[in-house]
Amino acid sequence: MKKVIAARSRKRKQDRSRAQEEEVSDDEHVTVKASGKKGSYAQDKSFSFFLSDPDVLDCPICFNPFTTPVYQCENGHVACSVCCSRILEKKCASCSLPIGSIRSRALEKVLESIQVPCTNAEYGCTETLRYSDKSGHESQCNFVPCSCPHSDCDFVSSFSDLPAHYRTEHGSSASAGVRFLYDKPFKVTLDSDDDVTILQEVNGGKLFIVQNFVAGLGNAVSVFCIQPELLPNYRCQISAKSNGCSLVMNSFTKNTQNSAMATILSSRFLVIPTDYFGTGQPRNLEISIFRSYE
């Protein structure tokens, strides 16, 4: 697939001022304009182009996007600085000539000129980045897409848009889940084979998932929040009471962008023994989710 990228030409005269103006059209073409002005003279040397082989911007050894410095051997084969530091005897992986001392200045200049939109632009991110900064930004972008947790829905959006969708499309359905308030305990009843129960906070509408993982010793119960992984985790408490006994776990929610990933056993869970509630009896839990963060 062709990636649409944009490059700006650098001005060669030091006395020319440089200004950038970004334009993004509906079809995601990106143009970075660099205008130079000297007296009454002004010229725009920016242009947009298609890159038919985007892999040329990635290190051929580790396949990560190039960042400066980039090194080349005498035959012109290139590698990133990280790979050059790890290559045995500093020999090129393609031709075995020495590598690690000659900078690929032309490629470095291209990398500094390329501007690309964040992959999450369609979900609201407005950042335009150097290609070498793209992966670092996207690993921390708060507009990473999140999936609707409802089993019959394939809606995907930013986590900030997801609550309104869920409330509008699923809030009145029989499988809408449990609505709750922060800092106040609420009841959740799980059958022994329930996988997921959806929670939605009443005021802000943020979505959570109670995961019920059936294990050999009983049930492992944990709470996930549907939001980007790097956002703070909420403090939570899960308690199970039966016949005068009480099991309590104070922990933190885990973040997930896709409810399907919540089927993987979390490292934070409350274990409820198989016969704790009695054979065939529902699992009555009391859960609290607090505004305070980890």
- The answer on 191 and 209 residing in a single domain is yes
pLDDT at 89: 86
Q: In three state form, how does the secondary structure of 138-207 look?
A: HCCCCCCCEECCCCCCCCEECCCCHHHHHHHHHCCCCCCCEEECCCCCEEEEECCCCCEEEEEECCCCCE
pLDDT at 11: 35
Could you tell me which residues come within 8 angstroms of residue 157 by beta carbon, excluding any fewer than 6 positions away?
A: 123, 145, 146, 165
DSSP 263: G
- The answer on 245 and 178 residing in a single domain is yes
Structural domain boundaries, residue 76: 45-139
**Cβ–Cβ under 8 Å, residues 33 and 43:** no
- The answer on 265 and 215 residing in a single domain is yes
Please state the separation of Cα 289 from the chain's center in Å.
23
User: For the chain, what is the total number of helices (H) and then of strands (E)?
Assistant: 4, 22
CATH of the domain at 96: 3.30.40.10
- The answer on 236 and 103 residing in a single domain is no
Tally of domains within the chain: 2
DSSP 266: P
User: Quick one: which of 138, 136, 128 has its CA closest to 7?
Assistant: 128
pLDDT at 262: 59
- The answer on 187 and 105 residing in a single domain is no
Angle, CA 195 vertex, CA 123 and CA 277 arms, to 5°: 145
Q: How many residues does the chain have?
A: 294
- The answer on 51 and 153 residing in a single domain is no
**Beta-carbon-side half-sphere exposure of residue 72 (alpha carbons within 13 Å):** 11
CATH of the domain at 229: 2.60.210.10
- The answer on 163 and 96 residing in a single domain is no
Q: Last residue of some domain: 99, 122, 139? A: 139
- The answer on 176 and 98 residing in a single domain is no
Domain membership of residue 40 (yes or no) is no
- The answer on 275 and 186 residing in a single domain is yes
Domain membership of residue 15 (yes or no) is no
pLDDT at 83: 94
**Cβ–Cβ under 8 Å, residues 179 and 202:** yes
pLDDT at 21: 35
Q: What gap in Å lies between CA 134 and CA 115, rounded to an integer?
A: 9
Q: Model's pTM, two decimal places?
A: 0.68
153 to 146, 175, 263, 294: CA distances (angstroms): 12, 12, 17, 31
- The answer on 175 and 157 residing in a single domain is yes
pLDDT at 23: 35
- The answer on 229 and 194 residing in a single domain is yes
**Amino acid letter for position 99:** I
- The answer on 228 and 132 residing in a single domain is no
Please state the separation of Cα 154 from the chain's center in Å.
18
Q: What is the pLDDT along the chain (294 residues), one digit of tens a residue?
A: 333 333 333 333 333 333 333 333 333 343 333 434 444 444 556 667 677 787 888 999 999 889 889 999 999 999 999 999 998 888 999 999 999 999 999 999 888 888 888 989 999 999 988 887 888 888 889 899 999 999 889 999 998 899 999 999 998 887 788 999 999 999 999 876 667 899 999 998 899 999 988 877 788 899 999 999 888 999 999 999 988 899 999 999 999 998 776 555 567 889 888 888 877 677 889 999 998 766
Q: Last residue of some domain: 101, 120, 139? A: 139
